[in-house]
Structure 1
Amino acid sequence: MARKHIFYDQEATYFVTISVVYWIDVFTREEYRNIVLESLKYCQKEKGLNIHAYVIMSNHIHLIISKELHINISDILRDFKKYTSKSIIKSIQNNVVESRKEWMLWMFQRAGQKNTRNKKYQFWQQHNHPVLLDTSEKLQQRLDYTHDNPIKAGIVQDAKYYLYSSASNYHGMKYNLLEVDVLG
């Protein structure tokens, strides 16, 4: 059963975690991470999503977001998750070098069978658990948490060197994969 978490204040800034079902390490491959990045860019350009911070880990994504336009944040995330899930599953199906293909598709199908709202596969966990960042302390804590994820996972020693994160944006570095609205 899905847990319902609501974005009560549509004008606020939120911390959101989006996780792959069963915590499957899908984003170890660049092509799957790139689907996420391209979809986030689309949401920025076409849906008014403001991304203030992000990190793409092996099996989940952290975002600090707000929005510009009249579209609800929950609708933007719903569309993002729907598009990326279909695109990533299709990419897995078509990937001739994906050694985990059969196992991953079986796991996504298994998760989909447990959810009556799915036709076949479920890629993302249903809940996002938005956290309202209504104080500067909460905001800084979640920003640090987001950027420190690759350090805690043992991937890098300095967050600004993790390519799939906005930490480099906050340090004025030039190799940013995604433009972010840096919080001052």
Structure 2
Amino acid sequence: MFVRDEYKRTVLESWRYCQKEKDLEIYGWCIMTSHIHMIVGSKGRALDKVVGEMKSFTSRALRKMIENHQGESRKEWLIWMMKRAGTKNGNNNDWQFWQQNNHPIELLNDEMFHQKLSYIHNNPVEAGFVENQEDWLYSSARDFYGQKGLIELCYII
């Protein structure tokens, strides 16, 4: 799904909005072509509510983008897949973009945090997209290598 930069930018815009308006704290992230990894938190609101609202917004925005994208060669197939997933899930009316459940893991200590962050940042390397973690534009790895990333991070000291 995320092979097009405009789709990735929509996700990033949603995250920025949630950071500003919904108390979303982002500690690490990576957008791959078929999935997203995030280490997140929220001090002001229930995290599941923040993530749910973010997923709802991006689902609607990406649906509109796919339906209106003149150059989207996968349009019919993507729409068919999302509609099929939506009709199979009683929580949706007609469309499902995100998987119904997240795979949250509570990070209990610094060691777990750094292990998960390393795993997230290493995804593009393992996939063969880049040689070095910091070379993947759509990842917080850049921030940890002294480069300016695309999302403001909350740092754990």
TM-score (ref. length: structure 2): 0.97
Q: 1:178 aligns with which of 144, 151, 155?
A: 151
| 1:22-61 mapped onto 2 (5 Å cutoff) | 26-61=1-36
Q: Is 1:139 aligned with 2:99? A: no
Q: Is 1:105 aligned with 2:85? A: no
- Give deviations 1:137-174, integer Å, cap 9, x for gaps: 21111010010010011100100110000001111113
Measure the CA separation in 2 of the matches of 1:182 and 1:169: 10
Q: Counterpart in 1 of 2:49?
A: 75
Q: Counterpart in 2 of 1:127?
A: 101
Q: Which has the higher contact order (CA 8 A, sep 6+)?
A: 1
Q: CA deviation at 1:182?
A: 2.7
Bigger proportion of residues as helix: 2
Measure the CA separation in 2 of the matches of 1:72 and 1:92: 30
Q: Percent of pairs identical after alignment? A: 45
CA RMSD of aligned residues (A): 0.8
Where does structure 1 lack aligned partners over 5 or more consecutive residues? 1-25
Measure the CA separation in 2 of the matches of 1:79 and 1:60: 18
**Which ranges of 4 or more aligned residues in structure 1 deviate by more than 6 Å?**
none
Matched pairs, number: 157
Q: Counterpart in 2 of 1:95?
A: 69
Question: What's the secondary structure of 2:141's corresponding residue?
Answer: coil
Measure the CA separation in 2 of the matches of 1:119 and 1:43: 24
Q: Is 1:168 aligned with 2:107? A: no
Measure the CA separation in 1 of the matches of 2:18 and 2:128: 30
Measure the CA separation in 2 of the matches of 1:137 and 1:29: 34
Where does structure 2 lack aligned partners over 5 or more consecutive residues? none
